[in-house]
Amino acid sequence: VPTSRDASGRLTFTGAPALPFVELVESTPAYVYDLDAIAAEARELKAAFEGEEHLVAYAVKANSAGPVVRTLAAEGCGADVVSGAELAVALGAGVAPDAVVYSGVAKRDDELDAALAAGERGILAIQIESVEEIDRVAARARAARRCARVSIRVNPAVERHALDTHDHIATGHDEAKFGVPRGDVAAALDLVQLHASRGELALVGLGCHVGSQFTSTDGYVDAARTLFGLARSALSRGAFADLRFLDTGGGFGIDYGEGCPPRPADFIKAVRKERAAAGLDALALLVEPGRSLVGAHGVLLSRVIQTKTTLAGGVPRRWLMIDAGMNDLMRPALYQAHHRIVPLVIQPREAVAVTDVAWRVVGPVCESSDDFGLHPLPETAPDHVALLDAGAYGFTMASRYNGRPAPAEIFLRGGAVVARSAAGDARAWVEERLRIASA
């Protein structure tokens, strides 16, 4: 059971269980999260600001579970949300409206209204992602009789190859749908300035978010440099007295097994240096990390249903069929991501002679992409396995494909279960599907 952590903060699964093992695996698939490790991750990141004003706006999309968002809120984190529902989770979990930013290329009017209605003056910032969006936000602000605080999310058009990550999660290049294109920022500033003069909008920030799972700080810092240049020209207009923060986005990578040399704090240190060089120390930094706060501190527990042996081109192949599928953890199917898989053992591993062989681990879903890849695992198939580093973009991306209910979630603090949610109900799914036919 995941009760101890190694030097890099990763959960380990060997050693005598401090928790009733059976209790944790009675309902699989189940996500298990270490709230202490998540809190420690937030503290380490915040320490990189060395006491200066800043905001760590946790990207709720990575893991929106109440206990996780509450834990991060208690550590002083704000939230980056991308829907009205995520906004409601953040506020409900105790994040102050003043610490919420709302990103997204296509926010509905009712979602903008909710952002404007929060607290005394709406959320900290609605992130403008297109010139076209500016009039829409101003119109909702007028209707709400409030001044909308906005930040312009710039697309800095970083060279695609400078963003060292998977194509599907690189967002700061000029073919992406995200952000105000660098060349349109001046026009966006003009329009915001016009609405500001009518008291409908106030420009409080400038930001960018250029992708996710960066394992080097280079692309991130490149983007920040471009952002800072744009911020200087915005400031030179002398028209934006409310401008308070620079948001360099999220994207700090974690080590999924192939290494990730920079720690999240290294990204902060690098952009603080860049901001000083740009002479912008008067503006506070805001960052939007999701994965790096939670990714390494959650695992997906799964039961082995059966094994199968086949010949693949004359070579024997061992398949390990588990009860977690691509609907529970979509990252391998969607991004060819590799999540390490370890057997759950009650005995310290050293105590038993184990020969590892290569198992191809797959789920029950009827798709070839329901495949977690090759993993060294004991020749005698284990009863249960844990898929590591599943704390971010695991449960939040789960689907009900093939009639599979949402997995259970279990939250640990101080080595004890402090919260849990039951797995979705397969019968409810059946009834829901059938009700359509008979309505």
- Decide: is 220 part of the binding site for ligand LLP (CB under 6 A): no
> Which residue in the set 222, 288, 328, 389 belongs to the binding site for ligand LLP (CB under 6 A)?
288
- The whole-angstrom separation of Cα 134 and Cα 111 is 15
Q: How many residues bind ligand LLP (CB under 6 A)?
A: 20
Q: How far is the CB of 28 from ligand LLP (least distance, A)?
A: 21
Q: How far is the CB of 197 from ligand LLP (least distance, A)?
A: 28
Contacting range for ligand LLP; rule: CB under 6 A; set: 19-27, 182-190, 207-215, 355-363: 207-215
130 and 155 Cβ atoms separated by less than 8 Å: no
Contacting range for ligand LLP; rule: CB under 6 A; set: 35-43, 190-198, 208-216, 423-431: 208-216
Closest listed residue to residue 22, CA positions, set 417, 339, 321, 375 = 417
Q: How far is the CB of 246 from ligand LLP (least distance, A)?
A: 14
152 and 182 Cβ atoms separated by less than 8 Å: no
- Decide: is 97 part of the binding site for ligand LLP (CB under 6 A): no
- Decide: is 339 part of the binding site for ligand LLP (CB under 6 A): no
- Decide: is 103 part of the binding site for ligand LLP (CB under 6 A): yes
Contacting range for ligand LLP; rule: CB under 6 A; set: 44-52, 87-95, 290-298, 404-412: 290-298
Contacting range for ligand LLP; rule: CB under 6 A; set: 27-35, 133-141, 189-197, 282-290: 282-290
Q: How far is the CB of 140 from ligand LLP (least distance, A)?
A: 20
Q: How far is CA 245 from CA 181, 255, 275, in A?
A: 20, 29, 11
- The whole-angstrom separation of Cα 404 and Cα 425 is 9
**Concatenated DSSP letters of 291-321:** HHHHGGGEEEEEEEEEEEEEEETTEEEEEEE
- Decide: is 75 part of the binding site for ligand LLP (CB under 6 A): no
- Decide: is 80 part of the binding site for ligand LLP (CB under 6 A): yes
Question: 208 catalytic, yes or no?
Answer: no
Q: How far is the CB of 353 from ligand LLP (least distance, A)?
A: 37
The contact pattern for ligand LLP, residues 21-60, with x = CB under 6 A and - = no contact, is --------------------------------------x-
> Which residue in the set 249, 332, 363, 391 belongs to the binding site for ligand LLP (CB under 6 A)?
249
- Decide: is 122 part of the binding site for ligand LLP (CB under 6 A): no
**Cβ density class 318-341: b for 16+ within 10 Å, e for less:** bbbbbbbbbbbbbbbbebebbbbb
Interface of this chain with ligand LLP, residues 357 to 416, rule: CB under 6 A: 393
Q: Which of 77, 147, 208, 366 is catalytic?
A: 366
Cβ neighbours of 188 (radius 10 Å): 25
Q: Which residues contact 327 (CB under 8 A, 6 or more apart)?
A: 363, 365, 398, 399, 400, 401, 402, 404
Interface of this chain with ligand LLP, residues 129 to 158, rule: CB under 6 A: none
Contacting range for ligand LLP; rule: CB under 6 A; set: 66-74, 143-151, 247-255, 380-388: 247-255
Cβ neighbours of 121 (radius 10 Å): 14
Measured from the CB atom, is 195 or 291 closer to ligand LLP?
A: 291
Q: Which residues contact 93 (CB under 8 A, 6 or more apart)?
A: 66, 69, 70, 73
- Decide: is 172 part of the binding site for ligand LLP (CB under 6 A): no
Measured from the CB atom, is 83 or 212 closer to ligand LLP?
A: 212
* Residue type at 377 in one-letter notation: L
Measured from the CB atom, is 18 or 334 closer to ligand LLP?
A: 334
Closest listed residue to residue 278, CA positions, set 220, 235, 214 = 235
- Decide: is 331 part of the binding site for ligand LLP (CB under 6 A): yes
Q: How far is the CB of 128 from ligand LLP (least distance, A)?
A: 12
- Dihedral sign (CA 408, 386, 302, 334): positive
Q: How far is the CB of 394 from ligand LLP (least distance, A)?
A: 8
**Concatenated DSSP letters of 310-359:** EEETTEEEEEEEES--TTT--HHHHH-----EEE--SS-GGGS---EEEE
Q: How far is CA 10 from CA 13, 38, 176, 220, in A?
A: 10, 11, 33, 24
**Cβ density class 255-286: b for 16+ within 10 Å, e for less:** bbeeebebbbbebbebbbebbeebebeebbbb
Q: How far is the CB of 130 from ligand LLP (least distance, A)?
A: 14
375 and 361 Cβ atoms separated by less than 8 Å: yes
- Decide: is 111 part of the binding site for ligand LLP (CB under 6 A): no
Given the DSSP bridges, would you call strands 341-343 and 416-421 parallel, antiparallel or unpaired?
A: unpaired
Q: How far is the CB of 66 from ligand LLP (least distance, A)?
A: 19
Give contact residues for ligand LLP (rule: CB under 6 A).
59, 62, 80, 103, 169, 209, 212-213, 249-252, 288-292, 331, 335, 393
- Active-site residue set: 366
